[in-house]
């Protein structure tokens, strides 16, 4: 086995040993103050079975990254206060100068002399101590951090002197006492490197050195403030820069890996009174969700039964840190344990839960000893349980008695308000006698609320359902917990409330179901086409009218075959099956999912993208005087823009109904498009309209599959028309100022880019399979729908004409908005306006913000400026256009949405 030594200073720290009662000779002490393995090797031979993975020399700790981000944020906040709270900063400086001005001169001189000497001696003394203990890597990290901190201080001094606002310069500097024409340094070039060095070498984890460090820093800051060579904000900024650069350096280069090895574990067991003979590393799942459970060892003793030992160190505890932090941020206060939990807290929590679970009458591993293995690892010793996990059992071995025993253990925990928080397959252990034991209690919680207890029930329902099916899982739960307790967990039966591994399994099963449905639809389409070809070969010549009727009948038959195949292939997901099983027992059970998310990823992305878009938009508007601009606006063109905006809803209704062979009221469809203007504000532009139109068609009597196909066909034709018009107008824009009909370089570059992308997709097998699968599934539903539309030419004309009219309305609305604010717009052609609109609309549909807010405004403004429109006209024109097409229709859209909802049309 490959071993890695432990740094000597990492052996400092007190032990938290819990001695076994049958071993009176055990004693508490400090584990690792001497090399444990060296002191024991004279008597014992440590044997660790199996090769442990080679440990990396350095690890990148998420805690260092978090401290780096906190430091950067603190620097930004400090500079913001200095920039905008000028009165506060000047008042603080005056108060400090008044208080320190009364200090005796002798005290000031002694403090300055002592601090100037100590600020250099303390780092040197610590470096000598580390070198004596053969820990030169930490010293190298400290020197690198000091060099980087010095470079950052020089850059900050240069920025404050040359480019910073006057308020920041006044907060960080003041006239030098030795030369009134010179200013003091904004950041101290020697203090920041010292702080970075001391932080990087780990002095903060050494109590004595930490006390000396802070005493020296405070003494130096006092002497500098009293003598007038710095300001309070300068001192704070210096400390923040040194601290931030140190943790940035540690995260970039990594911290020395001090993870204890199996040999260290053996020595630690002897220290708490055991006499181990050998230890075998137990392999288990290693994911960001379960990797922080620690490394597990099976340990045999000279006398007595074997042990199960879990070792947890800082690196393993950090696994899944960002996932837990994200869950704590987005969920409502009960997602996971603290993301910044210390090793001592983790040890105490697991010990408390182990004792509480046994006291509640549940079968759980018995904890018999705990100890620290130095300051960076802890050890938990359990009695050996043996057995296999639920995941490793064969399906035939999972009997009804085993299911009921599992629920009995959960009921025992819940009777004492203990939440397990991770009832997945590898946390349920079945020993040789068939007894169920619940393991992995570390992430649990005592005195848990009803919400957490119900989440445990829903999690175990899904865990068992994945192995034995929904019916047996629900029946076993009802037999032990009762129907009311199981019914109360239905609002928690949603993916966000389940463990990460369970969600991944459900997603994999969903992909497999979708693949089976696609294959069934494609097979039905292939068989229908084959039958149609065979019927065509066997049919005798008939009249043209009869032939058209036969074609329509065959298309309807093909559509029915596809719908029937989709219905037969459609499968319910596991969560739906569990709900149905519970509702059979308790029909009145609540099924509405509980709101567990505090912030959704889509909402956060929309907020960030909207903020970025608003920033760029505001930067364009700061130099524009809107008063004279609005006073000189031509209101006739404004009225024309309003008219074109209103006409766009009629065109949108035409473009949708043109791909719906069924009869749908036209005016109600127009109202639905108006309602879509309200939906666009609360959903991305490419999502809200599709969902609303699909829902509207379903409520209007169109079958769900046909409604989706109709909206898909409309979107597909719209995309094709959009691309063709963009290329056409781009071509005209490139040729309108040249005598030859040669397209612009932009259009040529765009076509070449598309060609290269197509070649890349077709040449990479993975991409080719991905695209072909999606295209085949799309055309499997859309093509039959298009066959219905093609048999009605008036419908096809309505749909394509509506799309062209919709684009025309928006282009004319933008053109009228431009002409309302300046005569310079006469030099801008309709083709140029169309190109700008089509490009802006495409980016707006791709942007994750509701209605494309920010992306559309920025794109349209930049595009109009690029085609020759002054910024003073482009910005207000875009604002007017967006006001008429996005913001003003919100109130009518809300009224239409509520009206259609009351009528049952949405």
Assign 3-class secondary structure to 813-840: HHHHHHHCCCHHHHHCCHHHHHHHHHHH
| pLDDT over 80 at 112, yes or no | no
| pLDDT over 80 at 40, yes or no | no
Q: What is the pLDDT of residues 673-723, one digit of tens each?
A: 888 887 776 655 555 677 788 888 888 877 776 777 778 777 777 777 767
Q: What is the pLDDT of residues 292-325, one digit of tens each?
A: 567 888 899 988 889 999 888 776 666 666 666 6
Half-sphere exposure of 306 (CA within 13 A, CB side): 13
Listed in sequence order, the residues at least 6 apart from 14 whose beta carbon sits closer than 8 Å to its beta carbon are: 30, 372
Tokens describing residue 779: 């055309």
Query: Which whole number is the average pLDDT over 332-341?
Result: 52
Residue 900 — pLDDT band, cuts 50, 70, 90? confident
Compute the Cα dihedral for 875, 876, 877, 880 and give only its sign.
positive
Helices (H), 229-291: 232-253, 262-271
Spatial CA neighbour of 849 closest among 613, 610, 618, 600? 610
Residue 615: its pLDDT value, please? 54
Helices (H), 85-135: 86-100, 105-132
Instruction: Let me know: does 244 contact 75? Beta carbons within 8 Å.
Output: yes
Rounded-to-integer distance, Cα 362 and Cα 481, Å: 15
* Beta strands 295-301; 255-256: pairing state: unpaired
Listed in sequence order, the residues at least 6 apart from 675 whose beta carbon sits closer than 8 Å to its beta carbon are: 692, 893, 896, 897, 900, 906
810 to 636, 640, 721: CA distances (angstroms)? 17, 12, 14
Query: Which whole number is the average pLDDT over 420-445?
Result: 89
Rounded-to-integer distance, Cα 106 and Cα 433, Å: 81
Listed in sequence order, the residues at least 6 apart from 225 whose beta carbon sits closer than 8 Å to its beta carbon are: 96, 100, 231, 232, 235
Compute the Cα dihedral for 677, 679, 682, 683 and give only its sign.
negative
| pLDDT over 90 at 760, yes or no | no
Which residue's entry shows tokens 């040194």?
242
Q: What is the pLDDT of residues 469-515, one digit of tens each?
A: 999 999 999 999 999 999 999 888 888 888 888 999 999 998 888 88
Which residue's entry shows tokens 């009528």?
903
Residue 710: its pLDDT value, please? 77
Rounded-to-integer distance, Cα 138 and Cα 201, Å: 5
Residue 12 — pLDDT band, cuts 50, 70, 90? very low
- Which region, left, alpha or beta, applies to residue 382 given φ > 0 means left and ψ of -120 to 50 means alpha? beta
Q: What is the pLDDT of residues 713-752, one digit of tens each?
A: 777 777 777 677 766 766 565 544 444 434 444 445 555 5
CB atoms within 10 A of CB 496: 16
Which residue's entry shows tokens 């002497």?
223
Which of 168-172, 447-451, 605-609, 761-765 has the lowest average pLDDT?
605-609
The helix (run of H) or strand (run of E) holding residue 215 is helix 207-227
Residue 22 — pLDDT band, cuts 50, 70, 90? very low
Residue 664: its pLDDT value, please? 85
Residue 617: its pLDDT value, please? 52
675 to 125, 198, 653, 757: CA distances (angstroms)? 73, 62, 12, 37
* Beta strands 48-49; 276-282: pairing state: parallel
Rounded-to-integer distance, Cα 74 and Cα 605, Å: 24
Q: What is the pLDDT of residues 136-148, one digit of tens each?
A: 677 788 888 888 8
Residue 413: its pLDDT value, please? 95
Rounded-to-integer distance, Cα 351 and Cα 366, Å: 10
CB atoms within 10 A of CB 366: 15
Instruction: Let me know: does 366 contact 358? Beta carbons within 8 Å.
Output: yes
| pLDDT over 60 at 285, yes or no | no
Query: Which whole number is the average pLDDT over 161-179?
Result: 76
Residues linked to residue 794 through DSSP beta bridges, in sequence order = none
| pLDDT over 60 at 803, yes or no | yes
Instruction: Let me know: does 61 contact 257? Beta carbons within 8 Å.
Output: no
Own/partner pairs for 345-354, CB < 8 Å, 24+ apart?
A: 346/312, 346/317, 346/378, 346/442, 347/16, 347/312, 347/372, 347/378, 347/380, 349/442, 350/380, 350/441, 350/442, 351/380, 352/446, 353/418, 353/441, 353/442, 353/444, 353/446, 354/382, 354/441
| pLDDT over 60 at 59, yes or no | yes
| pLDDT over 90 at 360, yes or no | yes
Residue 90: its pLDDT value, please? 56
Residue 757: its pLDDT value, please? 64
Instruction: Let me know: does 266 contact 279? Beta carbons within 8 Å.
Output: yes
Selected residue with higher pLDDT from 80 and 545 = 80
Q: What are the strands of the beta sheet with 276-282, ordered from one edge?
A: 48-49, 276-282, 295-301, 307-313, 377-383, 367-372
Rounded-to-integer distance, Cα 213 and Cα 802, Å: 75
Residue 859: its pLDDT value, please? 80
Residue 737: its pLDDT value, please? 45
Selected residue with higher pLDDT from 828 and 41 = 828
Give the CA radius of gyration of the chain: 36
Residue 335: its pLDDT value, please? 47
Q: What is the pLDDT of residues 820-857, one digit of tens each?
A: 886 555 567 788 888 888 877 776 666 656 666 667 77
Residue 51: its pLDDT value, please? 45
580 to 473, 588, 591: CA distances (angstroms)? 12, 12, 10
Rounded-to-integer distance, Cα 90 and Cα 74, Å: 20
Rounded-to-integer distance, Cα 229 and Cα 175, Å: 8
Instruction: Let me know: does 902 contact 839? Beta carbons within 8 Å.
Output: no
Model confidence pTM above 0.75: no
53 Cα distance to chain centroid:
30
How would you write 464-505 as a 3-class SS string?
Answer: HHHHHCHHHHHHHHHHHHCHHHHHCCHHHCCHHHCCHHHHHH
As a whole number, the mean pLDDT across the chain is: 75
Q: What is the pLDDT of residues 768-788, one digit of tens each?
A: 676 666 555 555 555 566 666
Helices (H), 6-103: 36-41, 62-84, 86-100
By residue count, the chain amounts to 906
């Amino acid at each position: 086995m490959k071993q890695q030594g432990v740094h000597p200073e990492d052996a400092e720290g007190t032990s938290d040993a819990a001695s076994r009662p049958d071993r009176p000779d055990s004693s508490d002490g400090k584990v690792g103050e001497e090399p444990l393995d060296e002191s024991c090797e004279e008597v014992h031979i440590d044997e660790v079975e199996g090769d442990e993975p080679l440990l990396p020399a350095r690890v990148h700790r998420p805690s260092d990254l978090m401290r780096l981000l906190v430091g950067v944020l603190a620097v930004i906040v400090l500079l913001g206060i200095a920039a905008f709270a000028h009165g506060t900063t000047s008042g603080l400086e005056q108060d400090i100068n008044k208080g320190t001005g009364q200090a005796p001169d002798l005290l000031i001189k002694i403090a300055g002399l002592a601090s100037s000497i100590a600020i250099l001696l303390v780092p040197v003394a610590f470096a000598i101590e580390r070198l004596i203990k053969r820990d030169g890597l930490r010293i190298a990290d400290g020197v690198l951090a000091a060099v980087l901190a010095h470079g950052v201080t020089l850059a900050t001094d240069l920025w404050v002197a040359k480019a910073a606002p006057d308020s920041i310069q006044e907060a960080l500097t003041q006239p030098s006492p030795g030369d009134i024409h010179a200013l003091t340094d904004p950041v101290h070039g020697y203090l920041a490197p010292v702080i970075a060095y001391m932080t990087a070498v780990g002095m903060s984890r050494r109590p004595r050195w930490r006390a000396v460090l802070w005493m020296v820093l405070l003494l130096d800051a006092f002497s500098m403030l009293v003598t007038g060579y710095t300001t309070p904000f300068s001192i704070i900024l210096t400390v923040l820069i040194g601290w931030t650069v140190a943790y940035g350096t540690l995260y970039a280069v990594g911290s020395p890996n001090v993870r204890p090895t199996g040999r260290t574990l053996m020595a630690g067991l002897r220290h708490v009174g055991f006499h181990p003979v050998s230890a075998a590393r137990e392999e288990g799942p290693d994911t960001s969700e379960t990797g922080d459970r620690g490394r597990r060892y099976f340990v045999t003793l000279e006398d007595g039964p074997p042990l199960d030992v879990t070792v947890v160190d800082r690196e393993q505890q950090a696994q899944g840190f960002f996932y837990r932090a994200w869950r704590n941020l987005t969920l409502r206060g009960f997602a996971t344990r603290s993301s910044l939990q210390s090793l001592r807290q983790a040890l105490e929590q697991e010990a408390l839960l182990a004792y509480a679970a046994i006291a509640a009458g549940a079968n759980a591993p018995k904890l018999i000893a705990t100890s620290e293995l130095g300051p960076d690892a802890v050890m938990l010793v359990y009695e050996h349980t043996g057995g296999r996990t639920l995941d490793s059992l064969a399906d035939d071995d999972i009997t009804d008695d085993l299911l009921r025993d599992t629920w009995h253990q959960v009921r025992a925990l819940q009777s004492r308000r203990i939440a397990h928080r991770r009832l997945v397959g590898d946390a349920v252990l079945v020993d040789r006698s068939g007894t169920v034991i619940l393991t992995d209690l570390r992430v649990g919680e005592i005195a848990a609320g009803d919400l957490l207890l119900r989440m445990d029930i829903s999690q175990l329902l899904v865990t068992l359902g994945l192995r034995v099916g929904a019916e047996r899982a629900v029946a076993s739960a009802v037999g032990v917990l009762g129907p009311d307790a199981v019914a109360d967990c239905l609002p928690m039966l949603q993916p966000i409330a389940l463990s990460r591994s369970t969600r991944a399994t459900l997603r994999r099963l969903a992909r497999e179901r979708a693949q089976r449905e696609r294959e069934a639809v494609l097979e039905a389409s292939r068989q229908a086409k084959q039958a149609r070809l065979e019927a065509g070969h066997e049919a005798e010549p008939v009249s043209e009218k009869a032939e058209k009727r036969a074609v329509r009948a065959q298309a309807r038959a093909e559509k029915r075959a596809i719908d029937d195949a989709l219905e037969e292939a459609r499968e319910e997901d596991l969560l739906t099956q569990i709900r149905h099983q519970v509702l059979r027992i308790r029909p009145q059970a609540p099924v509405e999912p509980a709101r567990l998310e505090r912030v959704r990823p889509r909402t956060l992305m929309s907020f960030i993208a909207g903020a970025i878009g608003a920033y760029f938009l505001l930067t364009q508007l700061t130099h524009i005087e809107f008063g004279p601009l609005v006073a000189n606006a031509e209101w006739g063109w404004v009225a024309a823009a309003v008219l074109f905006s209103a006409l766009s809803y009629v065109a949108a209704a035409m473009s949708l109904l043109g791909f719906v062979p069924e009869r749908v009221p036209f005016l109600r469809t127009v109202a639905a498009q108006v309602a879509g203007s309200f939906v666009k504000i609360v959903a991305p532009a490419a999502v809200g309209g599709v969902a609303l139109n699909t829902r509207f068609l379903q409520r209007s009597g169109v079958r769900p599959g046909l409604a989706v196909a109709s909206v898909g066909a409309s979107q597909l034709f719209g995309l094709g028309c959009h691309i063709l018009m963009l290329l056409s107008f781009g071509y005209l824009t490139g040729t309108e100022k040249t005598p030859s009909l040669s397209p612009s370089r932009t259009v040529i570059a765009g076509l070449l880019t598309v060609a290269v992308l197509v070649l890349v997709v077709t040449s990479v097998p993975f991409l080719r399979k991905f695209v072909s699968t999606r295209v085949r599934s799309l055309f499997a539903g859309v093509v039959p729908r298009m066959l219905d539309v093609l048999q009605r030419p008036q419908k096809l004309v309505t749909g394509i004409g509506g799309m062209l009219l919709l684009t025309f309305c928006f282009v004319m609305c933008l053109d009228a908005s431009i002409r309302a604010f300046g005569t310079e717009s006469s030099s801008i052609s309709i083709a140029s306006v169309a190109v700008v609109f089509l490009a802006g609309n495409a980016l707006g549909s791709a942007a994750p913000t509701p209605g494309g807010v920010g992306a559309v405004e920025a794109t349209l403004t930049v595009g109009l400026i690029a085609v020759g429109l002054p910024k003073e006209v482009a910005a207000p024109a875009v604002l007017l256009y967006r006001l008429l097409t996005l913001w003003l229709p919100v109130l009518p859209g809300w009224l239409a949405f509520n009206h259609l909802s009351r009528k049952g049309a949405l």
